[in-house]
Structure 1
């Protein structure tokens, strides 16, 4: 059983090549999803956005290509290739594509006790 899906196993690859930017769209590719973690690749067309929302888990983004603008609890961050940001659980956050960009999103959810 593979826990990470939608990608070839045991093959070196560039994550940025695993999702394609399409003008006027946000494209996503789920790599893992369970009660503990969610890992998703995203490609944003220029000007696309995910409006403000929150999550029950900590969300970490890693920009793979281009530049993205992230707003977390009212503070704005502009990230380029190789930069990461952690958006804490339960804090409102949003994403805007100042230009076309790609990112890896990892969300770690709290353990059920």
Structure 2
């Protein structure tokens, strides 16, 4: 049987924040699951790094695991910190920038 979840240990209590490290001047990603209808990915971004504005075909749930992120959704800017969550709706331009380093879990549910 092929597991849908990958790059993470099964049947073990884990701290998601510890599963991805920071790298100087880089955006690091670690795919946890990828199917035609959903993607789950861990990200770490060093200070000054970002993901440029783009549009997705699914709703994107961002859970901040460490640090603070500046997230732009359409014309609105949000400062989201550790243990907070925001949803970026499909079809609306969104992007983010690290004013300080941060880690997030991104879950995209596609239409």
**Range of TM-score over shorter length:** over 0.9
**C-alpha displacement of 1:33:** 0.7
Alignment correspondent of 1:106: 107
Q: Is the 8 A contact 2:22 2:44 kept in 1?
A: yes
Structure 1 position 65 matched with structure 2 position 66: yes
Q: Which runs of 4+ in 1 moved over 4 A?
A: none
**C-alpha displacement of 1:65:** 0.3
Say which SS state the counterpart of residue 17 (structure 2) adopts.
Answer: helix
Alignment correspondent of 2:90: 89
When normalised by structure 1's length, the TM-score is: 0.96
Alignment partners' CA distance in 1, 2:9 and 2:47 = 28
Structure 1 position 33 matched with structure 2 position 30: no
**C-alpha displacement of 1:74:** 1.2
**C-alpha displacement of 1:34:** 1.0
Alignment correspondent of 2:55: 54
Q: CA RMSD of the aligned region, Å?
A: 0.5
Structure 1 position 8 matched with structure 2 position 9: yes
Higher strand proportion (structure 1 or 2): 2
Say which SS state the counterpart of residue 17 (structure 1) adopts.
Answer: helix
Alignment partners' CA distance in 2, 1:87 and 1:17 = 25
